A = this chain, B = another copy of it.
Amino acid sequence: MFEAAELGRTLDKEVFKKELPDLRADLLQIQQELLGCDFPVLVLISGVDGAGKGEMVNQLHEWMDPRHLETTAFDTPTDEEKERPHFWRYWRALPPKGKIGIHFSSWYSDPISSRVKGEMTDNDLEASLSRINTLEKMLVDDGVLLIKLWLHLGKKHYKDRIKSLAADPKTAWRVSQKNLDNIKVYDTFRQVAETTLQQTSTGQAPWIIVEGCDANYRSLTVGRLLRDMIRKRMDIDPKVLVSPAINWSSKSTDKTTLLDYVDLKKSLEKKEYNEQLAEHQAHLNELARKAHKNKVSVVMALEGWDAGGKGGMIRRIIHPLDARHYRVIPVAAPTDEEKARHYLWRFWRHLQRAGHMTIFDRTWYGRVLVERVEGYARDDEWIRAYQEINEFEEELTEHGIVLLKYWLHIDKEEQLARFKAREQISYKQHKITDEDYRNRERWDDYALAVADMVERTSTLHAPWYIIEGNDKKWARVRALQILCERLEKAL
């Protein structure tokens, strides 16, 4: 794989000088056009030490408009980063539409270096790369132009480079003991890198290997690549990028869904309710304190029918909690900063530090519920969202976050009764709008969407809990009970 990049390629200085002015003009022109485009460009820079990654990025910054180009270097994670799932810091640094982001030491650095050091087995590496493939697919599917550059050096050139850097007093500071040690493990490194590149060179986001021996050669090559790839992406009719939504077997032939089997008669007497509520709340108080102390986080995803009782349930759940340790995130229309990025970005950004509870009132499932039913998302978008969501949730649970997903279920009659009741109470009137009645008319479509959602996203680590909600008392106690059980198990 690397053979072609170990030849010691150079570029004649005159050719470089001749080509550069046009290339720079092209790059500036493209950046300008990109500002009006509906996709971001994300460039990942990886490769062999000393292959000139840093110099190349510096070169790009100088050639291009640095106001629309942002490089993020990932080093040791900060404490705020460590307390969130692994990919959080990369999501945090995703460029918005119209801009170019460069990730220096990208999500490939950790797996490669861990494998080289023997901290990971081959299987660990494979699992890690498969996770990366899914993330990259998610981004590319959303329109991101992902350019993955590997700057390479053959063993001999690598050794020569490190030694010549070390010998020159002007550049000696750039050579660390780690660099010198790396010479010894070059062969292992090359082999791990080869495996990594092979497994992650996908049709949608292939690796591009550039030989790093010669500064002029690598800079001009990379500059041209960026120009041509961005240009090509701009010229593609956006419709072509949409993968056809095939193989989706609609359930519309069978009108019954799992929701029809929910026993909505479940209820609690007032006295029982009061007792059980108090008991569970007391228990939760204890568990939540322990969770905070042990830095165990909880993410609660609340979905349900309009007027299903989410608000009242949230109030009962937070009652025994310390307001400093939880946050309720209402999910409404995205802000423009959110609209400029993948739809999951706005959930990633709300993940809190270790030991905190985040309650999402409406969630990322909007993609496969309201956006599906109302046609805000294209078919291919909401269909692939199931896998994207599963992956997102796996990130959370793998990090040790206790993830709870509740569907608060009521039937159509109960909903109507609650709408009417709300209209009678002054401070609840705002909760009822024409839209609620409109959504109600599409009950069956929503029911189908809910059934599909539960079927496709109820996983071992993140199962759905359908809460019987016609009786609010039952629902609240049930929600608290599940929360306590899950927390107890996690602690």
Residues on A facing B (Cβ under 8 Å): 25-26, 28-29, 32, 54, 57-58, 60-62, 65-68, 70-73, 78-80, 102, 104, 173, 289, 311, 314-315, 318-319, 321-325, 327-330, 335-337, 353, 359, 361, 426-428, 430
A323 touching B67 in the complex, CB below 8 Å, given contacts A25-B426, A318-B61: no
Contact B67 A328 (CB under 8 A): yes
- Chain B neighbourhood of A26, CB < 8 A: 427
Q: List 22 A-B contacts (CB under 8 A).
A: A26-B427, A28-B427, A57-B324, A58-B321, A58-B322, A58-B323, A66-B314, A66-B315, A66-B359, A67-B311, A67-B314, A67-B328, A67-B361, A71-B323, A73-B325, A78-B79, A78-B353, A79-B79, A80-B80, A335-B337, A336-B336, A336-B337
**Which one of B28, B322, B427 lies within 8 Å of A32 (CB-CB)?**
B427
A335, B340: Cα distance in complex, Å: 11
Contact B430 A32 (CB under 8 A): yes
Instruction: Looking at the assembled complex, report how far the CB atom of A8 sits from the nearest CB atom of chain B, in whole angstroms.
Output: 26
**Which one of B54, B325, B327, B337 lies within 8 Å of A323 (CB-CB)?**
B54
Instruction: Looking at the assembled complex, report how far the CB atom of A129 sits from the nearest CB atom of chain B, in whole angstroms.
Output: 25
**Which one of B57, B72, B78, B314 lies within 8 Å of A78 (CB-CB)?**
B78
A353, B426: Cα distance in complex, Å: 48
A318, B71: Cα distance in complex, Å: 13
Contact B25 A427 (CB under 8 A): yes
Contact A323 B61 (CB under 8 A): yes
- Chain B neighbourhood of A324, CB < 8 A: 54, 57, 71-73, 104
- Chain B neighbourhood of A29, CB < 8 A: 426-427
A68, B430: Cα distance in complex, Å: 14
A68 touching B323 in the complex, CB below 8 Å, given contacts A79-B80, A337-B335: no
**Which one of B70, B289, B318 lies within 8 Å of A173 (CB-CB)?**
B289
